[in-house]
Amino acid sequence: MNMKRIPFWPVFLLALLLSACGRPAENNDHTMNGMIRESPSPAATTSPVAGSPLVSEAPPSASPETATEEPTPKLYRMNDAFRFEPLSKETTNKAVLLTFDDGPINKDILLSLLDTLDKHEAKAIFFVNGYRVKQNPDLLKLIHERGQTIGNHSWDHINLKNESEQSVEQQIGDLQTEIESLTGEKPKFFRPPYGSGGDLVRNTAKNHGMLYMTWSNGSLDWDKSTKDKPAEVIRNVLEQLHPGANILMHELRWTADALDELLTKLEEKGYSFIDPAAIETNR
Ligand SMILES: [Zn+2]
């Protein structure tokens, strides 16, 4: 008899708990928003599997799962200076966007970046080049499978400003197609090489459904002055730090070595990391 009755208690308690959950959620609205503010990517906390380097073995069928997920609410808008502003007063302006350009090149460096991002529950945009993707398709898939965002940085990393309409279309469009064929998704963000583009480049990116951006905080990690010097990368970013900063970094060893300390220091200053999925792209 007892054996039959026992299972009802957990079910009953669970039902009680569930019915109770609905009401306090409304009362605690501010708390809930606060939590979202601090961690703009709730998906990261619910899928720790994304941290496993073995995910690269997973078949590309991972995308149907993500397709059924709730879309991330939009929390930030980019302004004309490529900085990010909260869409509502409920959202903190002490947040930065992390970006890594010019990959994918090296598995060890990339894994180091991905692991550090996971450690800080941070999301970033990896602005990739087509010729690199062609060399390292598995690394591109790895970025996608680890839950990070892929951006379009043109096929050949040339200065697009003086290219013909046909060339610009190829440089941008061919990479869109390539990335979609490997990950199932087309990028929503575009950054021109050297930050150099005119109306033609902007319009082409827009026609491909992408938000065009350069940056507002250069880490100078590509410069000779920071080569092999992680401390310099950190110093440069902190020196130029401002609310809504759009931080430009690259897939480089010294940047990967700097990242954990850099993110820790940003967190200590009260900054959180903007989930690219929370950025308004239809502008
Ligand atoms: Zn670049």
**Percent of all residues in the chain with a pLDDT value above 90, rounded to a whole number:** 74
Q: Of 27-41, 53-67, 68-82, 123-137, where does mean pLDDT reach its minimum?
A: 27-41
Q: Is residue 263 part of a domain?
A: yes
49 CA distance to ligand 1 centroid (A)?
Answer: 30
Q: Is residue 12 part of a domain?
A: no
Residue 22 has pLDDT above 80, yes or no: no
* C-alpha 162 chain-centroid distance: 30
248 CA distance to ligand 1 centroid (A)?
Answer: 9
Q: Where are the beta strands (DSSP E) in 4-129?
A: 76-78, 84-86, 95-103, 124-128
Q: Contact, 256 vs 103, CB < 8 A?
A: no
Exposed / middle / buried, residue 94 (Cβ in 10 Å: 0-12, 13-18, 19+): middle
Residue 36 has pLDDT above 50, yes or no: no
Q: Is residue 89 part of a domain?
A: no
DSSP state of 214: -
Q: How confident is the model at residue 112 (pLDDT cuts 50, 70, 90)?
A: very high
Q: Could you list the residue range(s) of the whole structural domain that residue 198 is in?
A: 95-278
In whole angstroms, give the CA distance from residue 205 to residue 254. 31
Residue 27 has pLDDT above 50, yes or no: no
What's residue 9's pLDDT?
Answer: 52
Catalytic residue among 101, 102, 118, 275: 101
What's residue 68's pLDDT?
Answer: 63
Residue 207 has pLDDT above 60, yes or no: yes
Q: How confident is the model at residue 261 (pLDDT cuts 50, 70, 90)?
A: very high
Q: Of 68-72, 121-125, 223-227, where does mean pLDDT reach its minimum?
A: 68-72
Residue 255 has pLDDT above 80, yes or no: yes
Active site residue 260: no
Helices (H), 120-164: 130-135, 137-145
5 CA distance to ligand 1 centroid (A)?
Answer: 66
Q: Is residue 222 part of a domain?
A: yes
61 CA distance to ligand 1 centroid (A)?
Answer: 30
131 CA distance to ligand 1 centroid (A)?
Answer: 12
Residue 113 has pLDDT above 60, yes or no: yes
Q: Considering its fold, how many domains does the chain have in total? A: 1
For residue 179, the domain's CATH number is: 3.20.20.370
Active site residue 250: yes
Q: Is residue 272 part of a domain?
A: yes
Q: Is residue 166 part of a domain?
A: yes
pLDDT greater at residue 25 or residue 71? 71
Q: Is residue 16 part of a domain?
A: no
138 CA distance to ligand 1 centroid (A)?
Answer: 20
Q: Look at residue 86 and give its three-state secondary structure.
A: strand
26 CA distance to ligand 1 centroid (A)?
Answer: 45
166 CA distance to ligand 1 centroid (A)?
Answer: 21
What's residue 23's pLDDT?
Answer: 35
pLDDT greater at residue 4 or residue 93? 93
Q: Is residue 7 part of a domain?
A: no
Query: What residues are neighbours of ligand 1 (ion), with CB under 5 Å?
Result: 101-102, 193
Catalytic residue among 157, 250, 257, 275: 250
Residue 161 has pLDDT above 50, yes or no: yes
Q: pLDDT tens-digit profile of 65-90?
A: 555 678 899 999 999 999 999 999 99
Q: How confident is the model at residue 241 (pLDDT cuts 50, 70, 90)?
A: very high
Q: How confident is the model at residue 282 (pLDDT cuts 50, 70, 90)?
A: confident
Residue 279 has pLDDT above 60, yes or no: yes
